[in-house]
Structure 1
């Protein structure tokens, strides 16, 4: 029989490994956005979107396919799978187009509002209605987004609206992912995500394709696919080792990488209002995570007593 301290120790190590995987995934996604922004200066962003989905799809199918995972293509909710995948495609395309005009730190500061939208939409869609404290946090978070974008007062480029729309798509994508989690495996969901994006962008290639004339763009087009596929694989591994409420705060570490890469690669640093707005949005998101954990403590305690 194992000692009483063995299980908590194993849990602690698993959570530390999960946090490390989450931080690594966030770094890969930051490198992905940096590569997409660089490529978007010389080619149509939709071509970059195709490179992302086609490249990641090839990598995913090399590991997860009907031969290594029999039945992986079967889904109990096909319409939700395809709809979720198209929402992710919309968010990605809007983000890549906006990256042509916005700084990396500006885009991620707005995207950090996604948890606020998820919390707001969880009521009508999932029956998880936010209380007054969470509603107040959501309202403050949206004020933070307004500080970043400063609409109507000569603030950010109008492309910021594309990021807001992309954030909305990603919020509903996240909700659809939660709705699918009890029906399909993460492997099935991952394949459908790549397939939808690849199939939807292939017909656009004759109108947007621009053949790169040097080696570097080709390498970066391959890199965006590899970074996307590997990053999502690390996310899956992380969520298998620890609950989302433990991992979610580390998503905000992406602002550090985006600031650093924006400065090193593009010689861009955001203004003070972006920092202020990002701080407000992040603080609101962290408070929502705190309230989520507080809500689950009584349930976990009751479950422990039953055990």
Structure 2
């Protein structure tokens, strides 16, 4: 129950972060600046917290180049993930993020040479069908550019998942989060050149809120996996769609059309099917049967 509670809190924090990203866009704050503060504030907070406790040794790593690669890929993914909420409604942007498990299956088969059977390939096709339903013939709901950004974000996050899985073998979660933020922030700072920083108090509070909510979301998501399995806690992630729909209705007076309500359960069902098959595979003590 503690793990589920942490995961639920993470969905709230992440939905608030995306809401603030969209609101800063409405106020004319550039995406590069938003990304910079999203990364810089967590890095400063983690370093300061460890320094105050005399635990900077926890940041020691023997895999700096792997962290750098993860930062490059993760920074690209974050640019797309935060960028899509500026071109699409919150609910639709969130739903496209749920396609990440499908692309993780594809990348696992391609990069890790993992055997993928009919169940998971079927789930991939099922999820892509859900995306087609949401897109529909009327592009006013889901414009092609927004769809491309959303799919690109999901693919990049899936690639990051493979990278983090590798780093998790030797690094603690706090170290992974720190180097991701610390290595990407200086690069993102280049996007600040020529920016207008004449924000009002509300704008600066929103930027601070993005950094704080993003950091806490990462920590609660990671910590939830210490007290519960991936299969048991990831189901809670789909509550994020409810939050995105709620914020979209409350703040932007937007409710998803019928096509979204039809396609979303298909995408969620596909990702749950993938999660279930992963759970079955890793609990099976013998080699996986041919129909996995």
| TM-score normalised by structure 2 residue count | 0.91
- Picking from 184, 196, 201, the partner of 1:197 is 184
Cα deviation code 1:147-173 (max 9, x no counterpart): 223478555122221111111111100
Report the more deviating stretch, 234-243 or 155-164.
155-164
CA 1:160–1:210: 2 relative to 1, 3 Å:
farther
1:20 maps to 5
Q: Is the 8 A contact 1:109 1:148 kept in 2?
A: no
Residues 290-299 or 194-203, more deviating: 290-299
**1:243 maps to which residue?**
229
Tell me the secondary structure at the aligned position of residue 211 of structure 1.
Answer: coil
**TM-score for the superposition, normalised by structure 1:** 0.87
Name the residue aligned to 1:206: 193
- Selected match of 2:14 from 26, 29, 41: 29
Question: Following the alignment from structure 2 to structure 1, what is the Cα–Cα distance between the partners of residues 57 and 100?
Answer: 33
> How many pairs does the alignment contain?
284
* CA RMSD, Structure 1 to Structure 2 (Å): 1.9
Q: Gapped runs of 5+ residues in structure 2?
A: 287-292
Q: Give me the whole-angstrom Cα distance separating, in 1, the residues matched to 2:126 and 2:19.
A: 29
SS in 2 for 1:207: coil
Please state how far the C-alpha of 1:256 moved relative to its aligned partner. Answer: 0.5
Pairs within 5 Å for 1:29-68: 29-41=14-26, 42-65=28-51, 68=54
**Which of 175, 188, 191 does residue 175 from structure 2 map onto?**
188
Unaligned runs of 5+ residues in structure 1 are 1-15, 301-307
1:217 counterpart (203, 207, 211): 203
What does the per-residue CA deviation read over 1:10-39, in whole Å, with 9 as the maximum and x for residues that have no partner?
xxxxxx100100010011000000000000
Correspondence for 1:174 among 161, 175, 192: 161
Q: Deviations over 1:244-301 (max 9, x none)?
A: 121111111110100001111111111111121211110001111111222233339x
Secondary structure in structure 2 of the residue aligned to 1:61: helix
The residue that corresponds to 1:297 in the other structure is 283
